[in-house]
Chains A and B, each alone.
Chain A
Amino acid sequence: AQKVTQAQTEISVVEKEDVTLDCVYETRDTTYYLFWYKQPPSGELVFLIRRNSFDEQNEISGRYSWNFQKSTSSFNFTITASQVVDSAVYFCALSEEDRDDKIIFGKGTRLHILP
């Protein structure tokens, strides 16, 4: 079964702290894709990153970094030197090639960055 678990429902950190959002996925497919999306208080959904199952390289984009580990079925997201503007709900998502590539989302982690 296709499943995405974001065990952290809500996290609060003080500005400038680093924070890691966890994502654990379940799949039986060998070809799959992982995503992170951000939903700021304004409500829109913003794409952050896409990773395929054959690319385990970690990615860094400014203050954002992603750690993909197939051995633990995890795709964690770290924000370095957090800022108030990072306050949002963050969703991890999974799609599987053998299932029409439907994107299934986790329940999200609400991140509060305190000034």
Chain B
Amino acid sequence: NAGVTQTPKFQVLKTGQSMTLQCAQDMNHEYMSWYRQDPGMGLRLIHYSVGAGITDQGEVPNGYNVSRSTTEDFPLRLLSAAPSQTSVYFCASSIQEGNTEAFFGQGTRLTVV
């Protein structure tokens, strides 16, 4: 089983560029989420989804969009990258609600210059 797959692993963007971080899971999990990890800040929730067609904001949603057209995929879009979005991004999935064990992807290290 692949589990949670994130692509790309590394990315450098210029300020103002847009890009999509991909996240796919093959465990038929309903609940998916995106976090960013910054030094000294821990993991902060960006957006989450409790099932296909349903998304909601987390702690730090500004500058990011998500959609959940299928159970498997939960892409994170940066519409106009800013240096403040330099971070490591993690996608996670859980069987149902977020109160069960979360499985994390390997992370995407994003640098915005």
Chain A residues touching B, range? 20 to 34
Inter-chain CA distance A47–B104, complex, in Å, is: 9
**Distance to closest chain B CB from A92 (angstroms):** 9
Inter-chain CA distance A106–B37, complex, in Å, is: 11
**Distance to closest chain B CB from A25 (angstroms):** 13
- Contact of A13 with B by CB under 8 A: no
Question: Contact between A104 and B33 (Cβ–Cβ < 8 Å)?
Answer: no
Chain B: which residue is nearest A45 at the CB level? B104
> Would A43 and B45 be within 8 Å (CB), given that A100-B56, A101-B31, A103-B98 are in contact?
no
Tell me which residues across on chain A come within 8 A of B98, comparing CB atoms: 95, 100-103
> Would A106 and B42 be within 8 Å (CB), given that A45-B104, A50-B101 are in contact?
yes
Chain A: which residue is nearest B97 at the CB level? A101
Tell me which residues across on chain B come within 8 A of A93, comparing CB atoms: 43
Question: Contact between B48 and A43 (Cβ–Cβ < 8 Å)?
Answer: no
Question: Contact between A50 and B107 (Cβ–Cβ < 8 Å)?
Answer: no
> Would A102 and B40 be within 8 Å (CB), given that A43-B107, A44-B104, A44-B106 are in contact?
no
Inter-chain CA distance A50–B48, complex, in Å, is: 20
Question: Contact between A45 and B90 (Cβ–Cβ < 8 Å)?
Answer: yes
Tell me which residues across on chain A come within 8 A of B101, comparing CB atoms: 35, 47, 50
Question: Contact between B107 and A102 (Cβ–Cβ < 8 Å)?
Answer: no
Taking a contact as CB atoms closer than 8 A, the residue among A9, A91, A97 that contacts B43 in the complex is A91
- Contact of B112 with A by CB under 8 A: no
Taking a contact as CB atoms closer than 8 A, the residue among B42, B59, B90 that contacts A108 in the complex is B42
> Would A100 and B42 be within 8 Å (CB), given that A44-B107, A45-B90, A45-B104 are in contact?
no
Inter-chain CA distance A37–B102, complex, in Å, is: 9
Q: Can you report 16 residue pairs joining A to B where beta carbons are below 8 Å apart?
A: A35-B101, A35-B102, A43-B88, A43-B106, A45-B92, A95-B97, A97-B97, A97-B99, A100-B56, A101-B99, A102-B45, A103-B33, A103-B45, A104-B45, A104-B59, A108-B42
